Chain A
Amino acid sequence: MVKRDDIYYIKKVINGHTNYFSYLVERYKDIVFSIALKVLKNREEAEEAAQETFIKAFKSLHTYRAKAKFSTWLFRIAYNTCISEIRKKKPESIPLYDIQVRDETEEIDFDEFPEKDREKYVKTALKQLADDEYTLVLLYYYEDESIEGISKITGLTVSNVKVKLHRARKKLYAILSEMLNDKLYTIL
């Protein structure tokens, strides 16, 4: 099947072909759900938030202006929906992410991770990041969102996004480095 860009499907939906919206749902459901799951920490709630995100997007699709990427616009709705859900809940104790970040942790060779286990290690490392750090890393590295795009999605300033992303990257290196050392230690 021919893979078309988002605008094609958006125009179709706006012109009354609602079923075309399913292509957009299929394309973005995993990322929207991943963000929701990390923020809400509950599969059911995350599915509900993801569903709400798509319904909100559908309802206000006519207001979408193609100045920004559709994904940026959609992720912003998703992020705001999750934040609203969090605010509705009772305040919980904020977990402390006290992973030691050192400059030398940047010296890591990803090829040292065996290819078959690579995904497992990366997923485990990502889980250890804070909610906002996870979202930034996922959007920047996985979804190729620009710093400006992430700033629009999260409501953070551009410089704040840069700082947070830098910190998240360092933390990720530290976690992966620790994992690699543990693995070598186990082997020896």
Chain B
Amino acid sequence: MNHFEKDIKLRQLLKTITPESPGPDFSNRVMKSIFEEQFSLEQLKKYPVLKKSFWVFLSLFAILIAIAVVLSIISGTYPDQSTLQNFGMDKILTGYQSFLTQLGTLPVSIASILTATSLLVLMELLFDKKFGG
């Protein structure tokens, strides 16, 4: 018997064996895990960490900042305090200035980011409660 014939014989012999099998409910367990995995992936897609409303508010915020920047460039000045006093907002302005003074230890940019983020999150929560169902 040559090498080739012997290889065929060995193949035939090995084909007669039945390999080891896992437990009887193996396939069911695998499929159960797969369905669970799929469900969690779908949930993640359905409820992303940052919801759609967050991005809407963020876009609005960005647009407002852009408008403010453009306006300040065009006019070359910030709105003066006399205009605000005319609207009877001196008390609000005083409170706002004292709040900024208290935050004075932090760089203004960080304080602005934190305040804006808190505002956005709060708005998103309120928006979701009202319209998100």
Q: Which residues of A line the B interface, CB within 8 A?
A: 18-19, 21-22, 25-26, 29-31, 33-34, 37, 43, 46-47, 50-51, 54-55, 58-59, 106, 109-110, 118-119, 122-123, 126, 137-138, 141-142, 169, 172
**Are A55 and B31 in touch, CB under 8 angstroms?**
no
Q: How far does the alpha carbon of A104 sit from the alpha carbon of B75 in the complex, in Å?
A: 100
Partner of A18, one of B18, B19, B38: B38
**Are B21 and A29 in touch, CB under 8 angstroms?**
yes
* Known contacts A47-B23, A51-B26, A172-B10; A118/B16 CB under 8 A: yes
* Known contacts A26-B27, A29-B21; A55/B33 CB under 8 A: yes
B35: min CB distance to chain A, Å: 7
Residue of A nearest to B11 (CB): A141
**Are B19 and A31 in touch, CB under 8 angstroms?**
yes
Partner of A51, one of B10, B14, B19, B29: B29
**Are B31 and A21 in touch, CB under 8 angstroms?**
yes
Q: How far does the alpha carbon of A138 sit from the alpha carbon of B10 in the complex, in Å?
A: 11
Residue of B nearest to A50 (CB): B22
- Offer 17 A-B interface pairs, CB within 8 angstroms, sorted by A: A22-B27, A22-B30, A25-B26, A30-B20, A30-B21, A33-B20, A47-B26, A50-B26, A51-B26, A106-B3, A110-B9, A110-B10, A110-B13, A126-B17, A141-B11, A141-B15, A169-B10
Residues of A within 8 A of B6 (CB): 106
**Are B26 and A55 in touch, CB under 8 angstroms?**
no
Q: How far does the alpha carbon of A106 sit from the alpha carbon of B5 in the complex, in Å?
A: 12
**Are B34 and A18 in touch, CB under 8 angstroms?**
yes
Q: Which residues of B line the A interface, CB within 8 A?
A: 1, 3, 6-7, 9-11, 13-23, 26-27, 29-31, 33-35, 37-38
**Are B27 and A119 in touch, CB under 8 angstroms?**
no
Q: How far does the alpha carbon of A25 sit from the alpha carbon of B28 in the complex, in Å?
A: 10
**Are A51 and B30 in touch, CB under 8 angstroms?**
yes
Residue of B nearest to A144 (CB): B11
